[in-house]
A and B are shown apart, each in its own frame.
Chain A
């Protein structure tokens, strides 16, 4: 009898323990993980930094709304600390140090401008901080930078996609002028365009290549120099929004009637606001397309709609790419059931493909950079008409 009672009590105790355990799991606190976001929020490239910040904000709000993301046995919600790099290398080093050593973040989701990414990487890589960015610098990716990922297609991905289309659809473009800032992302963009033309064997000759200091306001003399070469097309290459808009405005004032293109143009709204719709008319690009376009994935159209509701301004590809970066990093965390930045980085590379608002994103870039750290997704070639970007064709990246 006593033995039977002991069994009953033991079973009851076990059942109670199990129930408590289960209840404990249900009541487990949701933890908040602090991430870092940096980017230029002032100066000529301010739109980029602001877009990065907003993309991250929207993702965090979405995660909060659905109660967090399960990573191993813990549910996480996210918040981020944003610092303005002012597009300056020194300032970037300062704010990255602050993020890593003061705020203690292990993940930095977002930065723009190649040279500033180099400055940040000098701190993130030795400290194993996972860093995703939209910087266009060629040297931002490589086997020696295992914690770094580019979320936006870079010039080496965009230039072949775009110039193949130009050669097929604008056969009258035989001579080309490139205008870019005199920094790493500017120079890398122009170099990528020249490489793409050469590698694809296109019949386009680069007749002028000009550089300027970011923030320049008067381009008349530089443009006069360019127009002396009679280019069929002028590509504003790696120009940031404010500078490129002024170039378009002043090109129109100088009476240039040839084709204009802007490989790095990401947001047509401030461009049209500054340059005017007439100055932007006919401009070709590959990354400044309307995210609500019918050619865009449904998930991206939905993102664009919610973004506009939340911030009162149209979403840009930079904002979407940063949202997608956050998705990829957190999906990798969930897959590896870990928050260790090195393991998360390895999981991203090993998984190789993620579902995001951009559609299916492939992790590639090994041929170009020697490491699979480039996020790849289709883009749209578009033309500016009446102040809005009109998609012309969907172009696929080379894996």
Chain B
């Protein structure tokens, strides 16, 4: 395998990594605030892609508008879903597990009945392919990389530098102590949940033109996001970012040598090894 092929694999992995970051970040935020795992998270990624399919693919609205509507829609849905459903299952792993599985099926089946089961494609947003030294990458993929990087930077700045971001971190670390400091944990949790879902719908919206859009597309991705969150450290946002990049690059480069069934086996073996050797993940705390 020559160097150009390896770089080609890495470029594909980088795009996957960008998508994984957006989805896993949302999952990690939800876990850090509510201490629950939202199995329906991947369905919101799918909803983002479906909204983009209708707005950009069918109605011909600009792609940026479709992405924006998806992200805002994801945020609004996040507020509603958290308030109506997840709020009463705070730190209730089993209850939230059952609830999120139910939500997964409701969302998937509702979309299937309206959108249909058949995968649909979207046209390119930016036609053309960049070729450098035997490596090709489409402008669509470059766009996903760039937007992904900008969003991660903005989310990081938001979490690290703003009052709301600090409040999210405080509630994630210690809910009671945060409340004693005058932070409203209920509001922060609702906001964080909505932010997580907005990131998922945004990711789905971005990948629409790269892959096909279908009701089942969130299923595998949410499993990958769990792997990332566990390897990164449950609830650790920097850990999720690092693990997502590593997983994307690993899939891109290892995919040059093994098929994707073997890849999945290797990924789960690595996950099992992490759980045995370093259960708190790359950057997780011992309590998490």
Identify the A interface with B (CB < 8 A).
41-44, 46-47, 50, 84, 182, 210-213, 215-218, 220-222, 224-225, 228, 241-242, 245-246, 249, 252-255, 270, 273-276
Contacts and interface: CB of A to CB of B under 8 A. Distances in A.
- Top 3 A-B residue pairs of the complex, sorted by shortest distance between their CB atoms: A221-B255, A274-B121, A220-B12
Contacts of B82: none
Given A41-B117, A44-B119, A222-B259, A253 B5 contact: no
A255 B129 contact: yes
B248 to A, nearest CB: 10
A116 B264 CA distance: 23
Contacts of A46: 116-119, 214
A50 B118 contact: yes
Interface string B257-284: 1011100100000000000000000000
Greatest chain B CB density within 10 A among A217, A228, A255 is at: A217
B259 A210 contact: yes
Greatest chain A CB density within 10 A among B11, B129, B136 is at: B136
Given A213-B259, A228-B2, A255-B136, 7 more contacts: A44-B119, A46-B119, A217-B217, A220-B11, A224-B5, A242-B118, A274-B121
B259 A254 contact: no
Contact of A43 (B117, B129, B253): B117
B12 A218 contact: yes
A114 B276 CA distance: 39
B16 A274 contact: no
A241 B124 CA distance: 19
Given A218-B12, A222-B255, A182 B261 contact: yes
B209 to A, nearest CB: 10
B52 to A, nearest CB: 14
Interface of B: 1-2, 5, 8-9, 11-13, 15-16, 112, 116-121, 123-124, 129, 131, 136-138, 141, 210-212, 214-217, 220, 251-257, 259-261, 264
29 contacts: A41-B117, A42-B112, A42-B215, A44-B119, A44-B214, A46-B116, A46-B117, A46-B118, A47-B118, A210-B259, A211-B259, A215-B216, A216-B260, A217-B210, A217-B212, A218-B211, A218-B251, A221-B252, A222-B260, A228-B5, A242-B118, A253-B136, A253-B138, A254-B8, A254-B136, A270-B119, A270-B121, A274-B212, A276-B124
B286 to A, nearest CB: 35
B55 to A, nearest CB: 17
A131 to B, nearest CB: 23
Contact of B121 (A212, A216, A276): A276
A246 B117 CA distance: 17
B119 A242 contact: yes
B217 to A, nearest CB: 7
Contact of A220 (B2, B117, B119, B252): B252
A228 B8 CA distance: 12
Q: In terms of DSSP, what is the predominant structure of the interface of chain B?
A: mixed
A245 B9 contact: no
A42 B216 contact: yes
Contacts of B121: 245, 249, 270, 273-276
Contacts of A47: 118
Contacts of A44: 119, 214
Contacts of B5: 224-225, 228
A221 B220 contact: no
Given A221-B253, A222-B255, A242 B212 contact: yes
Contact of A212 (B1, B131, B214, B259): B259
Given A212-B260, A217-B211, A224-B8, A274 B136 contact: no
A130 B13 CA distance: 48
B118 to A, nearest CB: 4
B124 to A, nearest CB: 7
A284 B2 CA distance: 30
A218 B18 CA distance: 13
Contacts of A182: 259, 261
B129 A253 contact: yes
Greatest chain A CB density within 10 A among B8, B220, B251 is at: B8
Given A43-B214, A43-B216, A228-B1, A220 B123 contact: no
B1 A255 contact: no
Given A41-B117, A224-B8, A276 B211 contact: no
Contacts of B123: 276
A47 B121 CA distance: 14
Greatest chain B CB density within 10 A among A50, A215, A245 is at: A215
Nearest to B129: A253
B62 to A, nearest CB: 19
Contacts of B220: 215
B117 A274 contact: no
